[in-house]
Amino acid sequence: GQNIDQPTEMTATEGAIVQINCTYQTSGFNGLFWYQQHAGEAPTFLSYNVLDGLEEKGRFSSFLSRSKGYSYLLLKELQMKDSASYLCAAQRNDRGSTLGRLYFGRGTQLTVWP
């Protein structure tokens, strides 16, 4: 199977910085996604990393180390609206298929306090 691990819960205060870690053990790995999901709503795409390094996009950045099976999502200048679940997903291609399947972690519930 695929093992995707991330913390269950995190808390932070408005204006702070928070780092959400994700480790994975996925054969045939070919990319790492982060999604944001507010309660009862659809997950929305935040970032995609396929090469090692940091990808910055506004207040959100994502890092990948393929050799360590590790990624993190960095959220800066936290706002109340950032309170949500953050889902880490590793992509792999099943043998003989061109379709990349995503395997999701359980999500990290982030609560931002005023």
Site of interaction with other proteins (CB under 8 A): 4, 8, 30-31, 33, 35, 40-45, 48, 50, 87, 89, 91, 93, 97-107
Q: Which is nearer to other proteins, 75 or 85 (CB)?
A: 85
Using CA atoms, how far residue 16 sits from 10, 48, 74, 78, 111, in Å, is: 13, 23, 11, 5, 12
Q: Which is nearer to other proteins, 61 or 93 (CB)?
A: 93
Burial class (CB in 10 A: 0-12, 13-18, 19+), 83: middle
CB of 45 to other proteins, least distance (A): 6
Cα–Cα distance for residue pair 14/26, rounded to 1 Å: 35
Using the minimum distance from each CB to other proteins, give the nearer residue, 43 or 69: 43
Closest distance between other proteins and the C-beta of residue 42, in Å? 4
